[in-house]
Amino acid sequence: MADAASLHVPLPDGATGVLVLADGTVIWGKGFGATGNAVGEVCFNTSMTGYQEVMTDPSYASQIVAFTFPHIGNVGTNDEDVESHVEGAVGCIVREEVTPPSNFRAERTFGDWMADNGKIGLSGIDTRALTRRIRLAGAPNAVIAHDPEGRFDIPALLRQAQDWPGLVGMDLAKVVSRKGEEGWSGGAWTLGQGYSLGESEGRPHVVALDFGAKDNIFRNLVKAGAKVTVLPGNASLEQVLACKPDGVFLSNGPGDPAATGEYAVPVIKGLLDRDIPLFGICLGHQMLALAAGAKTSKMHQGHRGANHPVKRVGGNWGPTEGLVEITSMNHGFAVDNATLPDNIEETHVSLFDGSNCGIAIKGKNAFGVQYHPEASPGPQDSFYLFQKFVGSLG
């Protein structure tokens, strides 16, 4: 690991942005978006579309996203494609310089949107080489910085990267979660019409615990036929029960599931004891597994993208058992399938590496998946999970 005090790196001509890894590697580029610097874990995402949804996914809190697709920003940005107004990714790394948008839905350039939202961008980077580095050595801690004048204190940025503790043991759900109860309204999006208003009368009531949810999750619950109330991720069991839920949804979110589970797992255990139906995705899936006795662990590189194949291996799918779904994923932690106790059935596995992607609690109406069935961005293969959950509530 490099010594920050002795690090002297010449500034290339025209460089206005830099990525400084905790091991001392310095990668120069052209900055865009917000100015300043931000620290986080560098990960890569293989999605070809939906960069705005990716950047506003709260699951990316304290992360810097390297996009493997080279042309990011060419369709601009718009207000409809924002997944959350809380903290998401702190920055992004792209291969090609961001060009003016060419899309009839565009309202602003990607660079202007990044600046308005306090996110730092870095272009002109060999993202293939960076991706290979992450695949071989794991996701590094780093600082991304942008200064139009090209003024960078590299030793100070290196110290910042080295001093950052990393995501293991970090509870970020408390940072991105809603702070109070919210009655959700709004359903699926349609071109030319926007998001539907949704309905609530006569529908089963789903209480969603927000650990850093994307809004499209709630829209899909509405589309599947539910009335949705959203509570903060740290809501007590009494607060959840006071809403008289027919079922409880456990959302995605950032950080270490074991850390967030310190307060969330006891609530989930209480819901399981009362036989209240549960459905969790991503972080919610991981905490459901923790509540049932399994363990989670940090992944070497994580799964992030909109092209991840997942196979159904259990869960009484009938004629569709063995079917492969192409899914949207964003996680750096996973349920350790070697620790699944007898009361958990594994229902889905990744065809990339065999890691756990789904569980069901035996004898309970409680299940979870590691991927994002709401997509945004991504394929629509997995909407049936919302239908399965809401349909089971009567």
What is the span of the domain harbouring residue 370?
173-391
Which position has the token pair 């207000």? 79
End position of a domain, from candidates 163, 187, 212? 163
End position of a domain, from candidates 103, 133, 163? 163
Is residue 46 domain-resident?
yes
Q: What is the CATH number of the domain that holds 159?
A: 3.50.30.20
Going by C-beta distance under 8 Å and a sequence separation of 6 or more, which residues neighbour residue 188? 195, 196, 219, 220, 222, 223
Over the chain, what is the mean pLDDT?
Answer: 94
Residues 135, 22 within the same domain? yes
pLDDT at 185: 86
Q: What is the CATH number of the domain that holds 236?
A: 3.40.50.880
Residues 178, 158 within the same domain? no
Is residue 54 domain-resident?
yes
Residues 159, 177 within the same domain? no
Residues 154, 264 within the same domain? no
Is residue 355 domain-resident?
yes
Residues 189, 152 within the same domain? no
Is residue 124 domain-resident?
yes
CA–CA gap between residue 172 and residue 257 (Å, rounded): 9
DSSP annotation of 12 reads: P
Residues 158, 198 within the same domain? no
pLDDT at 319: 65
End position of a domain, from candidates 163, 196, 226? 163
Q: How many domains does the chain contain in total? A: 2
Residues 123, 266 within the same domain? no
Region 92-119: mean pLDDT is 96
Spatial CA neighbour of 352 closest among 315, 317, 300, 314: 300
Residues 187, 132 within the same domain? no
Is residue 44 domain-resident?
yes
CA–CA gap between residue 64 and residue 141 (Å, rounded): 9
Banded model confidence at residue 3, pLDDT cuts 50, 70, 90: low
| Residues 11, 12, 16, 20, Cα dihedral to 10° | -60
Region 150-156: mean pLDDT is 96
pLDDT at 2: 61
CA–CA gap between residue 305 and residue 328 (Å, rounded): 6
pLDDT (tens digit, 9 = 90+) per residue, 44-78?
Answer: 999 999 999 999 999 999 999 999 999 999 999 99
Residues 221, 350 within the same domain? yes
What's the gap between Cα 171 and its chain centre? 14
DSSP string, 38-91: EEEEEEEE--SS-HHHHHT-GGGTTEEEEESSS--STT-B-GGG---SS---SE
Catalytic residues: 282, 372, 374
